[in-house]
Amino acid sequence: MYDDPVLLEKIRQQFDSAPYPNTPLDSNPQGKHDLLFIHSLVTPYYLRFQQPTDTRGKVILDAGCGSGYKSLVLAIANPGAKIVGIDLSHQSVDLAQKRLQYHGIDNAEFHVMPIEDLPSLGMKFDYINCDEVLYLFPKIANALRVMKSVLTPQGIIRGNLHSALQRATHFRAQQLFSLMGLLDSNPEEMEVEIALDTMRSLKDVVDIKRKTYDRERYESDDKTHLVLMNYLFQGDKGYTIPELFSALREADLDFISMVNWRQWNLLELFKDPNDLPAFWAMSLPELSAEQKLQVFELMHPAHRLLDFWCTHPNLPTPSPLSSWSDTDWQKAVIHLHPVGSWQLLVIQ
């Protein structure tokens, strides 16, 4: 049932000894509008269905909730929703539970369990947030399939993968440290120090150091976490846009949008979007969403995460705003996004 039980156990050990994120329990995301905006179900729901949705009574799963900071963000961004958090790691789930209690969130429950076992909860979810987890699965399509099996008919999944291109040097560093045996079992203080000593001892111009080692951060109080989440991250893997889309096809899920879609705008990469070379002026409008994203990542792999929303296939697609007539616009109603206060939602 598990793609690689030995790896799963290594991942569990890593997060039991260092739950992620190590954000203090009293840290409050209220007022962090950008964070709340991307964690609000209203955002992807509007992108897909061009309708706002009421978050009251919705059931939201934080799959691989870690120490629960994002579960707290989900609770605040989706008033009246029930939050269910699950994670492999007992220590992480303990912290997540304490965090939500500390902030007075009652409508939440947490379970120690792997994502692979989700169907055994016997619940369906309107939104599944699977943040910084999917890239740890040996077969991402399998994880997506399990989440799809517990998704309501108009439910939405948010997932993300590490970018193979943006993070290429980190993956080389992981290979190096693996060769040194630092990832044979659960990396602890000694392995962290050996990795750091290696970096400190290299000349600054050495490629692996120049591209991955930020002295200030790696000498801060957070250094153990940083090393574990970068140089010594058990199971970490990188993906490309075509690999992401091929996993979505395998799991029979429809892509909705990148989470930070405004930062994946291909036109923004050109000096003058109104004066493109003839090849690009002709071919860009013909490209699919997948092709545009692939061209973007080949030209400018700036994003660490391929962060996306997806849903069931074959759901009705509303007419795009660009095709609306004057009469449509006269009948349109404008809503304020409930958490991104400057965002307008327009519905017919």
Ligand X SMILES: C[S@@+](CC[C@H](N)C(=O)[O-])C[C@H]1O[C@@H](n2cnc3c(N)ncnc32)[C@H](O)[C@@H]1O
Nearer to ligand X, 115 or 247 (CB): 115
DSSP state of 3: S
- Choose which of 7, 13, 17, 21 interacts with ligand X (CB under 6 A): 21
Q: Which stretch binds ligand X (CB under 6 A): 113-121, 200-208, 308-316, 321-329?
A: 113-121
| E strands in the chain | 59-63, 82-87, 108-112, 125-130, 151-163, 238-239, 254-258, 305-311, 333-336, 344-347
What character string, x for contact with ligand X (CB under 6 A) and - otherwise, covers 192-231?
----------------------------------------
Minimum distance between the CB of residue 70 and ligand X, rounded to whole angstroms? 5
Contact between 136 and ligand X (CB under 6 A)? yes
Tell me the pairing of strands 333-336 and 344-347: antiparallel
15 binds ligand X (CB under 6 A): yes
Q: How far is the CB of 313 from ligand X (least distance, A)?
A: 24
Buried b (16+ CB within 10 A) or exposed e, 163-183: bbbbbeebeebbeebeeeebb
Q: How far is the CB of 215 from ligand X (least distance, A)?
A: 24
**What x-and-dash track marks residues 49-78 binding ligand X by CB under 6 A?**
---------------xxx--xx--------
Out of 87, 126, 191, 307, the residue judged to bind ligand X by CB under 6 A? 87
Using rule CB under 6 A, residue 114 touches ligand X: yes
110 binds ligand X (CB under 6 A): no
If binding is defined by CB under 6 A, does position 43 make contact with ligand X? no
Buried b (16+ CB within 10 A) or exposed e, 120-159: eeeeebbbbbbbbbbbbbeebbbbbebbbebbeeebbbbb
Q: 83 or 136: whose CB is closer to ligand X? A: 136
**Is the Cα torsion angle 182, 187, 193, 198 positive or negative in sign?**
positive
Distance CA 163, CA 307 (A): 9
Count of other CB atoms within 10 angstroms of residue 224: 18
> Looking at beta carbons only, is 65 or 164 nearer to ligand X?
65
Environment class of residue 343 by beta-carbon count within 10 Å: exposed (0-12), middle (13-18) or buried (19+)?
middle
Closest listed residue to residue 64, CA positions, set 134, 144, 156, 162: 134
The window from 97-105, 128-136, 266-274, 331-339 that contacts ligand X (CB under 6 A) reads: 128-136
Residue with smallest beta-carbon separation from ligand X: 66
- In the complex, least distance from residue 89 CB atom to ligand X, rounded to whole angstroms: 4
Interacting residue with ligand X among 43, 78, 92, 174 (CB under 6 A): 92
How far is residue 254's CA from residue 310's CA, in Å, rounded to a whole number?
5
The nearest distance, CB 131 to ligand X, in angstroms, is 4
- Name the burial class of residue 184, with classes exposed (0-12), middle (13-18) and buried (19+) by CB atoms within 10 angstroms of its CB: exposed
Binding segment toward ligand X, per CB under 6 A, in 45-53, 84-92, 119-127, 214-222: 84-92
By the criterion CB under 6 A, which residues form the site for ligand X?
8, 11, 15, 20-21, 64-66, 69-70, 87-89, 92, 114-116, 131-133, 136
